[in-house]
Amino acid sequence: MLLKHKIFYFIFGAILSLTLLYAEDNIEKYKFSFYVLLKGKIIKNIPRYDFGYRIEKTYPLRVKEFLLTSKYYNINNPALKNTAENEILSNINPEYRRKNAYYVTAEIFNFIKNKIFDENPREEFKLNHHELFKYPSEVIKEGKGNLIEKCRLAVALCRYLIIPARISYWNNHYVVEYYLQPLKGKGHWFIMDFEREEIDIKDERIKSVEWFPIDKDEQLNEQWNDEEIFLKRNGVKEIVFGGDNNLAKENFEKFKRDEVIQIEDNFKDKFYLVRKTDYEIWFKRESENKKAKVTFMLPFNNRYNFKNENSDDDLKTIDYFVKSESADLKVKYKRTHTRINPPQTGIIYTLPVEFVILNTGK
């Protein structure tokens, strides 16, 4: 019997290896780099309020949209409801603390940190970027998820428990912003970062978030929906420095040529940042159309309607550059443009890039 098992696992392993080998051989991979020059400033971090309402009417009109259900945050799902009631609220004692969003958001953070295990992002061909990620109910059922999936779950739980929340991008990774409305004064968006051990970010001065969704549906850092492709981030390199606008542009040109940059690090508030993100774009070898358009979200969110938040120039794009690292990959991009989604008056800055394979006979 033991011999039969060994033969079975040997055959199974061989078939799996051949399948993976075929799958890998059926993929065409092309490299490119995305360069961006940003202007920003360090902001004062507001300590987390020790009280927050969980009553919809207490929130300003401008944040109520972030309480709504959506395709990616289905707050009506039975599994989500059960988790919110029996895993979040029931663990908060004494009972009166369950009305305080300060304790509820902490319990959501602890539940996801302790009960949802890490999982690597999937590498699959999809027509829609969002389809690469599980829904919150699936994350609950499986007990594991990658960073975006954890953020989705946190947003869905917050919204079910009447706490406005949204996904944001901060310090080169995804986080959740949730809104606390205190007993007195103005409310504020706070950061929930699953790469930290505690919910409270105690740094006195921090970078503001790069962008946030301006409606109830999330947007990721890049999107595609016209071809079945996969986009993989291989690494990020960035340099922060002080100085003026002319020096920043000179440094950006040097950065694009991989030259050494002399750092002016004596800045107090305002700074410039150059960043290079290395990507691979994957096509199926048998695909007839070796062409795809990817839309990148750039740091430029006008928050002027969020009067109590940071100003509208905390972090914005000054210049950008997309460079093909593969001889057969041609890059064509149009001018950046803004996307405005009512009823919010915020702005998202977008860069549509078209990738074309010149030699399909590989």
What is the model's pLDDT at position 336?
A: 85
Compute the distance between CA of residue 146 and CA of residue 149 in angstroms, rounded to an integer. 5
Q: Span 11-38, mean pLDDT?
A: 70
Q: Span 45-65, mean pLDDT?
A: 93
DSSP-derived secondary structure letter, 58: G
Ranges assigned E (strand) in the chain: 27-44, 117-118, 144-145, 165-170, 173-180, 188-192, 205-207, 222-223, 230-241, 270-284, 291-298, 315-324, 329-333, 337-340, 347-357
Write out 305-336 in H/E/C secondary structure: CCCCCCCCCCEEEEEEEEEECCCCEEEEECCC
Choose the most confident range, by mean pLDDT, from 6-15, 109-118, 340-349. 109-118
What is the model's pLDDT at position 288?
A: 76
Banded model confidence at residue 120, pLDDT cuts 50, 70, 90: very high
Q: Span 349-362, mean pLDDT?
A: 82
Nearby residues of 38 by Cβ (< 8 Å), 6 or more positions away: 272, 273, 274, 275, 299, 315, 316, 317, 318
Residue 340: pLDDT over 60: yes
The answer to whether the bond into 343 is cis (omega within 30° of 0) is yes
Smallest CA-to-CA distance from 54 within 184, 180, 146 is with: 180
Model pLDDT for residues 217-235, shown as the tens digit of each residue: 888 999 998 889 999 999 9
Sorted by where each starts, the structural domains of the chain and their CATH numbers stand as 28-43+220-357 (no CATH), 46-202 (3.10.620.30)
What is the model's pLDDT at position 18?
A: 42
Q: Span 197-204, mean pLDDT?
A: 93
Q: Span 11-16, mean pLDDT?
A: 48
Residue 22: pLDDT over 60: no
Model pLDDT for residues 244-300, shown as the tens digit of each residue: 999 999 999 999 999 999 887 777 888 999 999 999 999 998 877 789 999 999 987
What is the model's pLDDT at position 61?
A: 87
Residue 82: pLDDT over 80: yes
Residue 57: pLDDT over 80: yes
Banded model confidence at residue 313, pLDDT cuts 50, 70, 90: low
Amino acid at the residue 218 = E
Please give the residue that has the higher pLDDT: either 306 or 245: 245
| Strand pairing class (329-333; 347-357) | antiparallel
Banded model confidence at residue 75, pLDDT cuts 50, 70, 90: very high
What is the model's pLDDT at position 25?
A: 74
Give this prediction's pTM.
0.89
Residue 306: pLDDT over 50: no
Nearby residues of 340 by Cβ (< 8 Å), 6 or more positions away: 214, 346, 347, 348
Compute the distance between CA of residue 17 and CA of residue 75 in angstroms, rounded to an integer. 41
What is the model's pLDDT at position 13?
A: 52
Residue 80: pLDDT over 90: yes
Compute the distance between CA of residue 136 and CA of residue 19 in angstroms, rounded to an integer. 30
Model pLDDT for residues 140-178, shown as the tens digit of each residue: 999 999 999 999 999 999 999 999 999 999 999 999 999
Share of the chain above pLDDT 90, in %: 68
Average pLDDT, the chain: 87
Q: Span 22-40, mean pLDDT?
A: 87
Q: Any idea which residue has 């507001």 for tokens? A: 46
